[in-house]
Amino acid sequence: MKYLTTPIYYPNDRPHIGTAYTTLVADAVARYFRLKGEETFSLTGVDEYGLKIQKAAEENGMEPQDWVDHIVGRFHEAWELLDMGFDGFIRTTEERHRATVRSLLQKMYDNGDVYLSRYEGPYCVRCEAYYIEDELVDGNCPVHMRPVDVHAEENWFFALSRYVDPLLAHIEANPGFITPVERRNEVVGFLEHGVDDISMSRSSLTWGIPLPWDESQVAYVWFDALINYVSAAGYADDPERFATQWPASAHLVGKDIIRFHAVYWPAMLMSAGLPLPERIAAHGWLLVGGTKMSKSNATQILPEELVETFGADGYRYHFLRDVSFGPDGNFSWEGMVDRYNADLANDFGNLASRVLNLCEKFRDGRVPAVSPADGPEEQPLRSAAVEAVAAMAEFEDFRSKQALEGIWLLFRASNAYLEMTAPWKVAKDPDQAERLDQILNACLEALRIGAILVSPVMPGAARRLWDKLGLPGEPDAPAFADRCVFGTFPETTVHKGDALFPRIEA
């Protein structure tokens, strides 16, 4: 079973294109695994407790529960708008999560890893994290570059330092545990530098999950949030599913929350006696004008602003094609328009309209199921189909850019094939009727394979093309490798209809 997770987002605001990025990669990769035929569970959700949310509720004059109930709908709407097909959505205010958190924390307590102590230090509410003085940049939070508060409390502490050696050993023994390697090195460096125990509860806050052994304190929000991955796998409410679903195959996260996922979380799991996730994969930030997008510097872009122009498929294609998973990526409107016009309107969309147009014009939309020729002209097309199918494996490592580059070889080869074989000329010679059928059949077959291969990235466009091709069933049915062998396109009634990707004027 493949179990993929996104971070659970703070519902202090609506999702923007940065938060949508992790969600998008997770959705495309989960769709890829389903297309491959693997049983898959993809999870997203919201992180509803903690000081940050309590403050957001206060600012909006609402009780925290009413606030999160009100705002969670925006996440559902955004994910629906972007055609995300998640199997699970978790809210940390759900009972199944509360029960799981209390059970896991109790296990850590019973294991002797929890003790009472006093803590005083700089705290960034936006990060929901304590820092040490050394980590501050000019006295500011290193992530948000804004002033920190000083918090002092008597809290329960988790003996994180006990897990440094086991964690280093685990990272050493499992080179793919933290990716990419830069992040792995960062985590190893952090662990080797010496790690302090961490405060895992709050006495000054009520908006959280009470500790089972001390109801006067609530769990520190990260200690509750990380456990969502276990709650959503059925720990408290579906133990049978939990047995097949845990450990997760991969947690996808932004680089700013790597320490929580690659240090705190595995240590918590070790303490609670649960297996560790197989992989923690971190991506960079989406920058706008070279800086991290944020509400405070008015660079925040919402998915709906882009979907309006590019559609959900155009949106998904752009971010999966142009932002590599790992380094920071820069967003620009011009870049998005150029990419859309070049790859979607031209290479892919235009190919589909030309082929379907020729089929309508010369064969009334019904091309006989003649087996496509296998001559020198067809060779590049056939090899491109094989390469495109092989490129799908890039999704295993979240390399959607490379997967799409591989798929595009097929569309480029199809366009070249059209130019070379020039069916509009062949059609003029009645003696070449069978050659025309062969050429059109080969082009339709390439489109059929293309529709299947793009389905994880553009489920809507794949479906629309499938309908135009008059094919039965679904483009995203399982076992794509078998379904993508270049063969004979069946005799269906095809229709050109509207453009798949209408050109966008800059």
In this structure, are residues 311 and 304 in contact, taking their beta carbons and an 8 Å threshold? no
- Which is nearer to ligand MSP, 73 or 502 (by Cβ)? 73
- Which is nearer to ligand MSP, 220 or 285 (by Cβ)? 285
- Which is nearer to ligand MSP, 248 or 461 (by Cβ)? 248
- Helices first, then strands: H and E counts in the chain: 20, 16
Q: Please give the structure tokens belonging to residue 33.
A: 């695994």
Q: Please give the structure tokens belonging to residue 57.
A: 């509720």
CB-nearest residue to ligand MSP: 254
- Which is nearer to ligand MSP, 21 or 395 (by Cβ)? 21
Q: Which of 250, 257, 367, 461 binds ligand MSP (CB under 6 A)?
A: 257
Q: Please give the structure tokens belonging to residue 200.
A: 């895992």
Q: Which of 22, 40, 155, 414 binds ligand MSP (CB under 6 A)?
A: 22
Return the range that interacts with ligand MSP (CB under 6 A); candidates 133-141, 158-166, 248-256, 456-464. 248-256
Binding flag, residue 10, ligand MSP (CB under 6 A): yes
Write phi, then psi, for 141 (nearest 5 degrees). -60, 130
Q: Which of 2, 3, 7, 148 binds ligand MSP (CB under 6 A)?
A: 7
Least Cβ distance, residue 319 to ligand MSP (angstroms): 10
Return the range that interacts with ligand MSP (CB under 6 A); candidates 3-11, 100-108, 410-418, 470-478. 3-11
Least Cβ distance, residue 22 to ligand MSP (angstroms): 5
Give 137-194 as a DSSP string: BTTB-TTT-SBPEEEEEEEEEE-GGGGHHHHHHHHHH-TTSEESHHHHHHHHHHHHT-
Q: Which of 43, 286, 337, 384 binds ligand MSP (CB under 6 A)?
A: 286
Least Cβ distance, residue 44 to ligand MSP (angstroms): 10
Instruction: Catalogue the long-range contacts made by 487-492 (C-beta closer than 8 Å, 24 or more residues apart).
Output: 487/371, 487/445, 488/369, 488/370, 488/371, 488/372, 488/441, 488/445, 489/367, 489/369, 489/372, 489/441, 489/442, 489/444, 489/445, 489/448, 490/369, 491/366, 491/367, 491/368, 491/369, 492/366
Question: CB atoms < 10 A from the CB of 133, how many?
Answer: 9
Q: Which of 2, 4, 14, 18 binds ligand MSP (CB under 6 A)?
A: 18
Strands, sheet with 280-283, edge to edge from the N-terminal-most edge strand? 88-91, 40-46, 2-9, 250-254, 280-283, 178-179
Cis before 247 (ω within 30): yes
Binding flag, residue 53, ligand MSP (CB under 6 A): no
- Which is nearer to ligand MSP, 92 or 421 (by Cβ)? 92
- Which is nearer to ligand MSP, 125 or 504 (by Cβ)? 125
Q: Which of 75, 109, 235, 285 binds ligand MSP (CB under 6 A)?
A: 285
Distance CA 244, CA 249 (A): 11
- Which is nearer to ligand MSP, 47 or 378 (by Cβ)? 47
Q: Between 287 and 326, how does the x/- string for binding to ligand MSP read (CB under 6 A)?
A: -----xx---------------------------------
Provide the angle, in degrees to the nearest 10, between the axes of the packed helices 95-110 and 265-272.
Answer: 70
* Structure-derived torsion over alpha carbons of residues 126, 128, 133, 134, reported in degrees to the nearest 10: -80
Q: Which of 2, 3, 4, 8 binds ligand MSP (CB under 6 A)?
A: 8
Compute how many residues bind ligand MSP; rule: CB under 6 A.
20
Least Cβ distance, residue 296 to ligand MSP (angstroms): 12
144 CB-contact burial (10 Å; exposed 0-12 / middle 13-18 / buried 19+): middle
Return the range that interacts with ligand MSP (CB under 6 A); candidates 250-258, 336-344, 431-439, 472-480. 250-258
**Count of residues making up the chain:** 506
Return the range that interacts with ligand MSP (CB under 6 A); candidates 18-26, 370-378, 384-392, 449-457. 18-26
Taking CA atoms, 220 is separated from 48, 63, 96, 108, 469, in Å, by: 12, 19, 18, 14, 54
- Which is nearer to ligand MSP, 106 or 330 (by Cβ)? 330
Return the range that interacts with ligand MSP (CB under 6 A); candidates 54-62, 249-257, 271-279, 471-479. 249-257
- Which is nearer to ligand MSP, 9 or 489 (by Cβ)? 9
Return the range that interacts with ligand MSP (CB under 6 A); candidates 105-113, 133-141, 222-230, 242-250. 222-230
Query: Of 324, 314, 419, 329, nearest to 377 (Cα)?
Result: 419
- Which is nearer to ligand MSP, 19 or 400 (by Cβ)? 19
Give the up-direction half-sphere exposure of residue 346: CA atoms within 13 A in the CB hemisphere: 10
In this structure, are residues 415 and 347 in contact, taking their beta carbons and an 8 Å threshold? yes
Binding flag, residue 232, ligand MSP (CB under 6 A): no
Distance CA 233, CA 240 (A): 10
Binding flag, residue 9, ligand MSP (CB under 6 A): yes
Distance CA 424, CA 18 (A): 46
Q: Give residues 390-449 in contact with ligand MSP (rule: CB under 6 A).
A: none
- Which is nearer to ligand MSP, 19 or 415 (by Cβ)? 19
Q: Footprint of ligand MSP on this chain (CB under 6 A)?
A: 7-10, 18-19, 21-22, 47, 225-226, 228, 253-254, 256-257, 285-286, 292-293
